[in-house]
């Protein structure tokens, strides 16, 4: 066994050294000397979170199927190790070979949420890679980003050489081949980036310039290299059964957040909630076949030994064969002590039936997300859930034995009024009334409703991408209004209310809709010591405010201003398939509280049909 990158004194001094040793079952071991491309795949958060991410496992498996590529993993060292590595000049390393990241050809970073941006800089700095793309030379790895946040990559444009827009399965091999070819002809880094920029889905920020109007909005965006495309087209996998899906995912040694086998039943979502970025950018809905999932479920359990398998997607209730799949899993795996876990489902009799089959009703709480307190606002966001659905569903659940309910809402949604805000308390109260309306002997004794609110953040490529955010104080006032209304309600003893500070929300809004100028604030905040901003114990709003002020980034411009439907948006150069025209139509429908049918009910012509697959082309052949 090769020596570990960290000396034993350090390993014994840090929390959970198991994060840094690799050596897990199903880890791919190759001789780095025998491959042509070394790829370090990074999730910029701690091991437990990064190892819970399916996307990385898919790409890790896919890359390592190639004999000429060795893909390894790297995660963010926690703050304790971060300090020790800096003190002792230990470079960041990959888990498998324990070799420095600096020696790799690629550093691929998945960008799953805005509050990990400073962690990206941490990974680069600990690796000894210049933070700015423009300062890297021929010896530095190519730094490429992917994942949901890259649908607006501009705030990170200075730090990445390339972004991969869309699903990784389609274009990565072409990119790796281009890298090899470029190496074979002794091409430069820039030569490669130019080649890469012509591969579908690959965006190389350095070949594009942005100019601004005096009022701060974007005046123009232009290519500074004739050989690159104007727009970047999002990549989608169309054949969901004949694609990469790991049969032997790595089995972590330490307990990770998702310590179970993961079965992705479909991609995309038919629902079209107007606040939801994933629901728009992962269009069209594409499901995996029942046969594929049955076979893969068995293989996954056999090859990992997990005692739980989770069925995931954006909306697993909408998977057409959910009932059959669950029955199969219970029969096939239940006898071996394997549990089946389902994410939050829609609240209807079918879903409750499925849930009661796989869960111990007494122990689990029922989770669902009305998102808004009144029917009007649920129509504005196109939640497609009526008050009747919620109350009848709750009654069914209570009769089925559930007595703990978790409800998720958003505050600060476009058009939200005092009535909508208080409506959150009203709907909680109405659900509680349903419970206490059931004869005592037919329900359990005590009801526990936990209502949580988060603050709405407008995201690119959603109908609300133009919407205003609220000033910080206003968010907190709205949360207090909810709290007050719940405390004053008839069933207050059965309802617990959770909310959090809006500081993070403001920054999420800034990053989500920021342009290239925002990168300077991210760099400044990092230099002030901001890392692990998603972790409350590390988050410093004060440092972020200072960083924005010092770099001239006006947060209000990106948040409370709202954006004109006529202005050039920082992410306009990306083509997700869903047209701006559709988003605008949906925005107008929202303002009129008009509900749009889901993709299976009626096609609204969002544009995703252009990809030539998925739900858009069902029953049409």
Partner 1 sequence: MKIRVKFSKTGRMVYLGHLDIMRYFQKAIRRAGVDIAYSQGYNPHQKMSFSAPLSLGIESLAEYMDITLNSLPSAAWLKDILQKQMVPGMDILSITLLPDDAESAMTVLAAADYEVIVRNDVIENMDLSRMDAFYSQEEIHIVRKTKKSETEIDIKPLIYSLHEDDGVIFMRLASGSVQNLKPDLVMKAYFSYIGLDIPEHCIRIKRVEQFGENFVSLEDMGLQMD
Residues at the interface with partner 1 (CB under 8 A): 1, 4, 8-9, 11-13, 17-18, 20-25, 27, 251, 253-255, 301-307, 336-337, 360, 363
Neighbouring residues of 197: CB distance < 8 A, sequence distance ≥ 6: 162, 203, 204, 207, 225, 227, 228, 229
Q: Where are the beta strands (DSSP E) in 479-554?
A: 495-498
Q: CA dist 235 to 156, 281, 283, 376, 490, Å?
A: 20, 10, 11, 35, 51
Residue 6: both structure tokens together: 């960290």
Of the two residues 24 and 550, which places its CB atom closer to partner 1 in the complex? 24
Compute the least distance from the CB of residue 302 to partner 1, in Å: 7
| Nearest distance in Å: CB 74, partner 1 | 16
Least CB distance to partner 1 at residue 316 (A): 23
Q: How far apart are CA 292 and CA 313, in angstroms?
A: 15
Q: Which is nearer to partner 1, 70 or 321 (CB)?
A: 70
Closer residue to partner 1 (CB): 304 or 454: 304
Q: How far is the CB of 400 from partner 1 (least distance, A)?
A: 18
**Structural contact between residues 396 and 368, judged by C-beta atoms closer than 8 angstroms:** no
In this structure, what token pair is assigned to residue 484?
A: 């007050």
Which of 362/490 has CB closer to partner 1? 362
Helix (H, G, I), strand (E, B) or coil at 293: helix
Q: How far is the CB of 483 from partner 1 (least distance, A)?
A: 36
Instruction: For partner 1, give the closer residue by CB, 134 or 335.
Output: 335
Q: Please answer whether residues 415 and 380 qualify as being in contact, where contact means their C-beta atoms are separated by less than 8 angstroms.
A: yes
In three state form, how does the secondary structure of 145-188 look?
Answer: EECHHHHCCHHHCCCCCEEECECCCCCHHHHHHHHHHHHHCCCC
470: which DSSP letter?
P
**Contacts with 470 (C-beta within 8 Å, 6 or more apart), sequence order:** 412, 455, 478, 560
User: Closest separation between CB of residue 247 and partner 1, Å?
Assistant: 13
Shortest gap between Cβ of 557 and partner 1 (angstroms)?
48
β-partners of residue 142 are 106
Closest separation in Å from C-beta 265 to partner 1 = 23
Q: Which is nearer to partner 1, 20 or 63 (CB)?
A: 20
Residue whose CB is less far from partner 1, 1 or 185: 1
Is there a contact between 271 and 279 (Cβ–Cβ < 8 Å)? Answer: yes
Put the strands of the sheet holding 339-341 in their side by side order: 261-264, 308-312, 339-341
Looking at the Cβ atoms of 21 and 391, the one nearer to partner 1 is: 21
Q: 134 or 336: whose CB is closer to partner 1?
A: 336
Per the structure block, which two tokens stand in for 472? 């910080």
Give the C-alpha distances (Å, rounded to integers) separating 147 from 48, 113, 488, 514.
18, 9, 43, 17
Asked if 72 and 82 touch (Cβ cutoff 8 Å), the reply is no
The angle that helices 503-512 and 518-527 make with each other, rounded to 10 degrees, is 130
The nearer residue to partner 1, 82 or 416, going by C-beta atoms, is 82
DSSP 191-226: HHHHHHTTSTTEE-GGGEEEEE-TTSSEEEEEESST
> Rounded to the nearest whole angstrom, what is the least distance from the CB of residue 300 to partner 1 in the complex?
11
Give which of 581, 578, 585, 315 is closest to 461, Cα–Cα: 578
- 75 or 435: CB nearest partner 1: 75
Q: How far, in Å, are 117, 218, 312, 515 from residue 521 at the CA level?
A: 11, 18, 35, 11
Pick between residue 176 and residue 261 the one whose CB is nearest to partner 1. Answer: 261
Q: How far apart are the first and last CA of the chain?
A: 55
CB of 359 to partner 1, least distance (A): 11
Of residues 2 and 490, the one with the C-beta less far from partner 1: 2
Structure tokens at 229: 């495309």
CB of 9 to partner 1, least distance (A): 5
In whole angstroms, how close is the CB of 274 to partner 1 at the nearest point? 41
Closest distance of CB 95 from partner 1, Å: 10
The DSSP string of 548-584 is: HHHTT--HHHHTTS---TTSBPTTTTEE-SS-HHHHH
Tell me whether residue 54 or residue 251 sits nearer to partner 1 (CB atom). 251
Q: Minimum distance between the CB of residue 25 and partner 1, rounded to whole angstroms?
A: 5
CB-CB neighbours of 500 under 10 Å: 14
């Amino acid at each position: 066994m090769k020596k570990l990158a960290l000396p034993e004194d350090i390993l014994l001094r840090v929390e959970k050294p198991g994060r840094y040793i690799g050596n897990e079952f199903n880890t791919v071991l190759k001789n780095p000397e025998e491959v042509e491309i070394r790829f370090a795949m990074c999730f910029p958060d701690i091991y437990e979170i990064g190892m819970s991410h399916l996307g990385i496992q898919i790409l890790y498996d896919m890359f390592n199927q190639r004999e000429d590529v060795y893909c390894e993993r790297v995660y963010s060292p926690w703050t304790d190790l971060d300090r020790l590595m800096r003190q002792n000049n230990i470079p960041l390393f990959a888990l498998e070979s324990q070799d420095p990241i600096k020696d790799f050809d690629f550093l691929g970073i998945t960008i799953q949420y805005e509050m990990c941006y400073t962690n990206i800089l941490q990974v680069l700095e600990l690796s000894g890679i210049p933070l700015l793309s423009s300062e890297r030379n021929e010896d530095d790895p190519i730094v490429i980003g992917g994942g949901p946040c890259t649908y607006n990559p501009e705030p990170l444009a200075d730090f990445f050489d390339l972004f991969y827009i869309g699903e990784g399965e389609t274009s990565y091999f072409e990119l790796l081949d281009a890298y090899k070819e470029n190496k074979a002809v002794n091409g430069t880094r820039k030569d490669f980036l130019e080649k890469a920029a012509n591969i579908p889905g690959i965006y190389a920020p350095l070949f594009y310039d942005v100019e601004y109007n005096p009022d701060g909005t974007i005046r123009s965006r232009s290519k500074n290299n004739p050989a690159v495309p104007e727009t970047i087209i999002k990549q989608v996998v169309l054949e969901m059964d004949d694609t990469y899906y790991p049969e032997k995912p790595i089995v972590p040694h330490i307990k990770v957040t998702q310590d179970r086998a993961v079965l992705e039943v479909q991609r995309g979502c038919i629902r079209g909630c107007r606040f939801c970025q994933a629901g728009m950018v992962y269009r069209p809905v594409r499901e995996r076949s029942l046969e594929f999932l049955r076979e893969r479920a068995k293989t996954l359990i056999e090859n990992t030994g997990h005692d739980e398998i989770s069925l995931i997607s954006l909306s697993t209730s909408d998977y057409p064969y959910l009932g059959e799949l669950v029955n199969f899993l219970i029969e096939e795996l239940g006898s071996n002590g394997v549990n089946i876990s389902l994410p939050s489902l829609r609240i209807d009799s079918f879903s409750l039936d499925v849930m009661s089959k796989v869960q111990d009703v007494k122990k689990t709480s029922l989770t669902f997300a009305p998102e808004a307190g009144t029917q009007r606002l649920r129509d504005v966001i196109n939640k497609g859930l009526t008050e009747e659905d919620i109350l009848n569903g709750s009654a069914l659940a209570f009769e089925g034995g559930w007595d703990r309910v978790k409800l998720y809402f958003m505050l600060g949604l476009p058009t939200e009024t005092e009535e909508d805000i208080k409506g959150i308390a009203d709907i909680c109260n109405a659900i509680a009334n349903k419970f206490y309306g059931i004869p005592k002997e037919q329900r359990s004794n005590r009801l526990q409703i936990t209502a949580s609110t988060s603050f709405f953040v407008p995201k690119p490529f959603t109908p609300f991408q133009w919407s205003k955010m609220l000033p910080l104080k206003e968010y907190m006032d709205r949360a207090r209004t909810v709290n007050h209304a719940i405390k004053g309600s008839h069933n207050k003893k059965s309802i617990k209310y959770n909310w959090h500070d809006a500081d993070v929300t403001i920054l999420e809004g800034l990053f989500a809709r920021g342009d290239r100028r925002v990168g300077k604030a991210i760099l400044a905040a990092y230099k002030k010591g901001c890392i692990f901003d998603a972790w409350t114990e590390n988050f410093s709003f004060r440092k972020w405010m200072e960083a924005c002020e010092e770099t001239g980034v006006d947060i209000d411009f990106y948040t409370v201003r709202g954006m004109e439907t006529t202005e050039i948006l920082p992410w306009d150069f990306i083509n997700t398939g869903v047209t701006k025209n559709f988003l605008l139509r949906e925005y107008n429908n929202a303002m009129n509280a008009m509900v749009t049918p889901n993709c299976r009910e009626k096609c609204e012509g969002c544009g995703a049909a252009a990809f030539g697959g998925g739900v858009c082309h069902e029953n049409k052949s």
